[in-house]
Amino acid sequence: MPGPTKQAPPPLQVDTARVVLAGIALWAVALVVLLLLGDRVDRMWTWTCVAAIGLAVLGLGVMRLQGQLPRRHPRD
């Protein structure tokens, strides 16, 4: 079997914390909309938003433990 003819492209440099925070913001907006709609929507969607926000916050904590997020330095 012949090997690949092209080299793989270099990995993209992505600020994963920003991506996760943007996702949290979108889920929070969806949660607010669902809360404003009240009983006109199924509560499952409200809990889906809450779970997504909670899992994203948990993911940020894991990213910090793995060293993927910069540590905050105390100000002198």
- Average pLDDT score over residue span 50-61: 97
- Average pLDDT score over residue span 30-52: 96
pLDDT at 76 (0 to 100): 53
- Work out the mean pLDDT of the chain and round it to a whole number: 90
What are 12's two structure tokens?
A: 């993209």
Q: Taking the domains of the chain in order of start, what are their residue ranges?
A: 24-65
% the chain with pLDDT above 90? 63
**Is the pLDDT at 15 greater than 80, yes or no?**
yes
pTM of the model: 0.76
What are 63's two structure tokens?
A: 């990213």
For 18-57, b/e burial (b = at least 16 CB within 10 A) is: eebeeebeebeebbeebeeeeeeeeeeebeebeebbeebe
Q: Of 20, 32, 33, whose CA–CA distance to 68 is shortest? A: 20
Helices (H), 38-76: 43-65
